[in-house]
Amino acid sequence: MEGQILQYRRGVRTYHGNQMILSLPAIETREKAKEMFGKSVIWTSPAGKKLVGKVTNVHGNKGAMRVQFETGMPGQAIGQKVLVE
């Protein structure tokens, strides 16, 4: 299943470099997003390096999810596609 990275998880003055907000087109409610907990997320960089993350929580009421990656994510990942397994 493919999803899209929306943004870093952030506050007013801080951001978490290894946590991203993810949206999946098939998921539109908080309850459906809760079913995705623990799923693996893979983002492939333009250089071919794969960064692996895990769905940890929901974000809001419209099906967005919080994904925690192993390392910090580059800004070029925002708006790009990811693979959810």
pLDDT digits (tens, 9 = 90+) for 37-81: 999 999 999 999 999 999 999 999 999 999 999 989 999 999 999
CA distance 68 to 18: 6
Q: Which domains are delineated in the chain?
A: 2-84 (2.40.10.190)
pLDDT digits (tens, 9 = 90+) for 9-34: 999 999 899 999 999 999 999 999 99
Predicted TM-score of the model (pTM): 0.87
Q: Which of 73, 74, 2, 85 lies closest to 38 in space, CA to CA?
A: 85
CA distances in angstroms from 30 to 1, 24, 48, 80, listed in the order given: 18, 12, 33, 22
Phi, psi of 78 (to 5 degrees): -65, 130
The residue type at 41 = V
